[in-house]
Structure 1
Amino acid sequence: MKSFNYFAPTEIVFGCGRVSEIGGLALRFGKKAILVTVPEFPAVAPLYKKIKDKLNEAGVEIIHYDQVIPNPTTEVVGEGAKLARKFGAQLVIGLGGGSSMDTAKAIAVEATHPGTAWDYLHYTAGPSEKTLPIIAIGTTAGTGSQTTPCAVITNTAKKDKSAIWHKNIFPRIAIVDPELTVSMPKSVTAQTGFDAFCHNFEAYLSVNTNPLVEALALDAIKIVVENLPKVFANGGNIEARSKMAWADTLGGLTNASAGVTLPHGLGMQIGGHCPHVTHGQALAAQYPEFTRFTWQSAVEKFAAVGRIFNPALNNEDDKSAAEKSCEAIDNFLKKIDLWIDLKSLDVTKEDIREIADCGQVLGDYKNNPRIATIPEMYDLLMRCYERK
C-alpha cells in the first residue's frame, strides 16, 4: 500500500432538525456574524427567519448578505467582504447550495487579507490563519462544499472560473440537516445529486486516491444509485433525502483528500465561459464521453462502479463490465432527466474551442487515469455538442 495523508477537520453536525442548533454553534466563534445567501424567495423565507431568530436568541448579532448568484463572481465576493469588514464580522455563515457556501468561504478570505479573494487561488500560497471561521449549512445535496477546503469563484472579466484550495477555508462546522433539502425542485435535485456521484466517482478514480477515500466513495456511490431516483420521483421522501445528504457529505470528504478529475476541470471552464450553465449540467453533458475516454485506463474501478449501477454485470469479466459501465451511467442520466448535450445548454462550437484551450489551466485533468491533451479535450467536448 502506498503512503497517504487524510485531513478532514470539519465538525459535522448531521441529522434532521439540527439547524436549530446554529445559535450555540455560532457563539463559539464570536457575537457578530455575516449570513451569506441567495436573495430571499418564498420557499426559503421561513428558513432565513428561523436562522436569524436562533442566532439572535443566542446573542449573536447578524448582518445578512443576500446577493449570491450561481457561479459566484469576484464582484459578488468583493461586495460581501466589504460588508463583513464594515460590520466587524467575527464569523461567516454560508447558507444554501454550493454557490452560497463557496461565496462565504471567499468572503472569509477577502475580508481579512490584502487584495481580493482571487489573489489566493490554488496555485498561490493561499490564505492565512487570519481567515474568518466559517459555518456551512447546505440546502442542496451534491456540492459537498460543507466539508471541503475549496471555494469556486468566477472572474467574468477573464472568463475564468477557478478556486481557492487551502486548509484554512475548511468550514469549522458543517450543519447537514436533510430537512433543508426537501424544497429542492426536481431539476436541482437531479443536478446536485449527480454532482455528488461525480465527486465520489472521480475521487475513487483519482491517481491521488487512497484506501480510505476508496471505501467512502464506493459507499457513497451505492447510496446515490439507490436514492437519487427516489428523491427525484418523490422530493418528500425524507429517508432518501437523508441518505443523499450523507452521500453529498462523503463527496466533500473524498474530494478534499483525493481531488476530482477531467470532467470537473472542464466543467469549471464551461461555467467560466458560459455562466448560465450549472455545474451539474456541465458534468452531465460531458459524462457519456468522459467515461468512454477513460474506462480502459481504470478497468477494475469502472467495473466495480458498473456493477453497482447494473448488478447483472457481476456475471461478466472486468473488461466487459468496465466497458458496459459507460452505458449503465448513460441510463442513469436518462432516468433523472439529465441526458443533455452542450448544444441544448446554449454552448456554441466557438465556446467549445475556448473552453478546450483553457482545459489545462486547472490541474484536475492530471488526476485522471488517462491524461487528456488539449486536442483530446476539444475532441471530447465536440462529441458532447449534440447527442442523440
Structure 2
Amino acid sequence: MQYIYQFAPMPGVASGPGVVERSGKFTAAFGRKALLITGASSLERSGSLARILKALEEAGLTVHHCRIDGEPSPAMIDAAVNDSRDKAPAVVLAVGGGSVLDAGKAVAAMLKETGSVLDFLEGVGAKTPSGQSLPVIAVPTTSGTGSEATKNAVISEVGRHGFKKSLRHDNYIPKLAILDPILCLSTPPSVTAACGMDALTQLIESYVSTRASVLTDALALDGLRHLIPALPEACDKGGADIDCRASVAYGAFLSGVTLANAGLGVVHGVAGPMGGIVDIPHGVACANLLPFAVKATVENLTASDTAESKRSIEKFARIAELFGASHNNAVDRCRHLTDSLYRWLEDLSIARLGRFGLTDDDVESIVESASNKCNPLPLTAEQMARMIRDRC
C-alpha cells in the first residue's frame, strides 16, 4: 500500500513531576518580558500560580498577568490583546485548561495583527492570518484538548447565532509544551472526566479518520493504551496517583498531535455547533455523543461491505480490545466498545446534554451546521439528530 502524507511540526516537550518549576528558565530563553495567561482563579487556589510566578521572577523576567474566565470569546481575546500590546511581551506563557491555552495562542497571534480576532476566524472573518505570532509555551493543567500540540485556537460566541470557530495557522503550534502531572492533581473528578473523554474522542476519531496515516495510527494507539486504563483511576477521588495523571496527560498530548495531522470525525463535527448554541463543556458534549457515533458509524461501515470499510471496522475492533473485548468477530468487538463507552458515561458521572439547556428545538439547527469531515463513513442527518437526542 502506498502512503502520501505530511506531518505537522510538534512542540518541544518538557515532561515529568515538578518540571513546571523550570518554567522561568524555559520562558527566559525567548526574551525578558513575558505575558502570563491563566484562568480566573483555580491555578491560584491550587498554589501553583505562586510557584510559577516565583520561577519567572527568579529567572529575571518582567511579567504581565492576564486572566481568561471560561471559554475565550472574541471580546475576551480583543481585550487581552489591547491590555497587553503596550507591555511589548516577547513570549506568551499560557497555563491552564484548553480554553486558556487556546486564548494564549490567539493572543500571541493577534499581538502581531491589527483588527479584531473576529476578522481572522475561519468561516467568520474575511482576513487570512499572516502566521506571525509571539512564541507560546503551553502548560496544561487539565488533560483533554491537546491544545498544547495543535495549530488552532478555538474561539466561541454562545447564543442563538453563536459559533465555535478556529484561528488557525501552522505557525501557531506552541514552541514548548510543559507536561507536569502535579498541576493536574487539584482538578476535580468531573473536570478530569470531561477533559479525559475529549482526549479519548480525539484519539479514537483521529485513529479511524479518513486522513489517518501509519504515523498517526501508531501515536493514537499509544495514546489510547495509556489513557484508557488511567482515566477512571484519575477520576476516582481526585486521582492522586502521579503515574496515572502522567498517563492521562500523555494521552491528551498525543490526541492533540494526532488530530492536528489526521483530523477528527462526526463527534467533533456536532459538538462544535452545539457549543455555539448552549454553554456546555466541550468534553461533556463529546462524551455524550461518542457512544452513539461509534455505534452508527460501525453500522454504516457494516452495510457498506467494502475493503476500506472492513479496515475501518478492524480499527474500531482494535480499540475495543483495549477495553477488554475478546470476541472472535470484529463487529462483536465493536459492540463491546459501544457498550463500554456507554458504561463509562455512568461510571464517570457525565451529565446529560439537557442539563446544560439543550432542547429538542435546538437539534435541527445543530445538525444543519454539523460536519462529517474525516468520519470513516458519514452519518445521515437523521443519525446525527438521534445521536443528540440519545443523550438529551
TM-score (norm 2): 0.91
Deviations along 1:207-260, whole A, 9 cap, x unmatched? Answer: 111111111111111212111111111421111011111111111111111111
In structure 2, give the amino acid aligned to 1:103: A
Partner of 2:332: 320
Partner of 1:253: 257
Identity %: 29
- The runs of at least 4 consecutive aligned structure 1 residues that moved more than 6 Å come to none
Secondary structure at the aligned position of 1:115 is classed as coil
Post-superposition offset of 1:125: 7.4
Number of residue pairs aligned between Structure 1 and Structure 2 = 376
Partner of 2:304: none
- 1:81 and 2:84 matched: no
- 1:345 and 2:356 matched: yes
Following the alignment from structure 1 to structure 2, what is the Cα–Cα distance between the partners of residues 42 and 221?
28
Contact 2:164/2:275 (8 A) holds in 1: yes
Post-superposition offset of 1:75: 0.7
Deviations along 1:294-343, whole A, 9 cap, x unmatched? Answer: 11323111111111112xx32321122123321122122222222x4322
Contact 1:70/1:278 (8 A) holds in 2: no
Following the alignment from structure 2 to structure 1, what is the Cα–Cα distance between the partners of residues 329 and 197?
27
Following the alignment from structure 2 to structure 1, what is the Cα–Cα distance between the partners of residues 387 and 343?
20
Partner of 1:21: 22
- 1:308 and 2:322 matched: yes
The farther-off stretch of 100-109 and 40-49 is 40-49
* Pairing of 1:373-388 with structure 2 (within 5 A): 373-385=380-392
Contact 1:203/1:259 (8 A) holds in 2: yes
List gaps (5 residues or longer) in structure 1: none
Contact 1:126/1:165 (8 A) holds in 2: no
Secondary structure at the aligned position of 1:315 is classed as coil
* Pairing of 1:36-55 with structure 2 (within 5 A): 36-41=37-42, 44=45, 46-55=47-56
Following the alignment from structure 1 to structure 2, what is the Cα–Cα distance between the partners of residues 202 and 126?
28
TM-score (norm 1): 0.92
Secondary structure at the aligned position of 2:326 is classed as helix
Following the alignment from structure 2 to structure 1, what is the Cα–Cα distance between the partners of residues 31 and 128?
24
Partner of 1:370: 377
Following the alignment from structure 1 to structure 2, what is the Cα–Cα distance between the partners of residues 93 and 269?
29
Contact 2:213/2:262 (8 A) holds in 1: yes
Post-superposition offset of 1:290: 0.9
Deviations along 1:164-223, whole A, 9 cap, x unmatched? Answer: 222111001111101100001110111111111111111101111111111111111121
Contact 1:127/1:168 (8 A) holds in 2: no
Post-superposition offset of 1:71: 2.2
Partner of 2:9: 8
Secondary structure at the aligned position of 1:142 is classed as coil
List gaps (5 residues or longer) in structure 2: 302-311
Distance 1:62 1:43, change over 3 A: closer
Partner of 2:204: 201
Following the alignment from structure 1 to structure 2, what is the Cα–Cα distance between the partners of residues 190 and 102?
20
Partner of 2:110: 110
Partner of 1:131: 133
Partner of 2:99: 99
- 1:336 and 2:348 matched: yes
Contact 1:128/1:168 (8 A) holds in 2: no
Q: 2:147 aligns with which of 145, 149, 160?
A: 145
Post-superposition offset of 1:42: 7.5
Following the alignment from structure 2 to structure 1, what is the Cα–Cα distance between the partners of residues 147 and 349?
24
